Amino acid sequence: MDTRTGRWVELAAGVLARRYEELDQTLGVVVGSRSCLVVDTGGDELIGAELAAAVREVTALPWSVVLTHAHFDHHFGTAAFAPCPVWAHERCREALVRDAERDRAAWVAHYREAGDTATAEALQAARGVLPDRLLSSSVEMDLGDRMAVLSHPGPGHTDHDVVVHVPDAGVLFVGDLVEQGAPPSIGPDSDPARWPHALDTLLAMRPRTVVPGHGDPVDAAFVAAQRDELAARAPDRG
């Protein structure tokens, strides 16, 4: 299978994760009776188009997009869904304006050095799309007979992480606040000291299934173990 072609993992009726070998990434969709919500769009328009076509095989309902954070692999596929509402934290938009082109250049260089010219060119050609629906704390979205709650649990992987809770299904999409198959990615825009508290906020939602931005879906015990690992590396500042 092409590493940039995904496969669906059904988490609950109308709640699916799409898994890719490329970057071990996990995107998603939540389907209601009137609309659907796409969770992240991948690192370029080719992956975005692959995801959009796969969503259309699941539902013909109108879609919105939510970006869990501003790193390149979560947003450069958004143009494949346009025009549509694009949700994100207000600081995510600021980060995209400030950092998206620098992020793009760094990863284009990475793929070229790795000999993956096709991915480098796809990323170089991707059109940036800024979110036009911004939240600061939380927003409830009525998808029709199903609610999706978008919320910012506090600083962690970035200062603008957004998670998507689907209460009736017990599913929580968390972006890169949790990773399965690799340690949490701590970058220059991360807040390791407050990250454990963000994970406590996720655990308080009592999800049955947690969908990381990279890796397979996990349970609450996995999140608690990752919280403890992060807390051991960087004491909580409170």
Q: pLDDT digits over 36-55, tens only?
A: 999 999 999 999 999 999 99
Rounded CA separation 161/37 (Å): 17
* pLDDT tens sequence across 7-38: 999 999 999 999 999 999 999 999 999 999 99
Q: HSE, CB side, 13 Å, CA atoms: give it for residue 29.
A: 31
Residue 153 lies in a domain: yes
Q: Is residue 144 scored above 50 in pLDDT?
A: yes
Residue 238 lies in a domain: no
pTM score, whole prediction? 0.96
Which residues on neighbouring strands pair with residue 88, listed in sequence order? 134
Residue 102 lies in a domain: yes
* pLDDT tens sequence across 181-222: 988 999 999 999 999 999 999 999 999 999 999 999 999 999
Residue 210 lies in a domain: yes
Residue 30 lies in a domain: yes
Give the CATH number of the domain where residue 225 resides: 3.60.15.10
CA 204 to chain centre: 20
**Listed residue (131, 144, 174, 134) closest to 156, CA to CA:** 174
Rounded CA separation 222/41 (Å): 25
Residue 9: burial class (beta carbons within 10 Å; 0-12, 13-18, 19+)? middle
pLDDT at 127: 97
Q: How many domains does the chain have?
A: 1
- Cis, bond preceding 83 (omega within 30 deg of 0): yes
Residue 59 lies in a domain: yes
Rounded CA separation 58/135 (Å): 28
CA 170 to chain centre: 17
Contact, 64 vs 40, CB < 8 A? no
Residue 112 lies in a domain: yes
Contact, 16 vs 10, CB < 8 A? yes
pLDDT at 4: 80
pLDDT at 131: 98
Residue 2 lies in a domain: no
pLDDT at 235: 53
pLDDT at 3: 74
Structural domain range at position 221: 7-233
Q: HSE, CB side, 13 Å, CA atoms: give it for residue 229.
A: 14
**Listed residue (193, 6, 159, 168) closest to 69, CA to CA:** 159
Strand order in the sheet with 133-135: 7-12, 15-19, 26-31, 36-39, 63-66, 86-89, 133-135
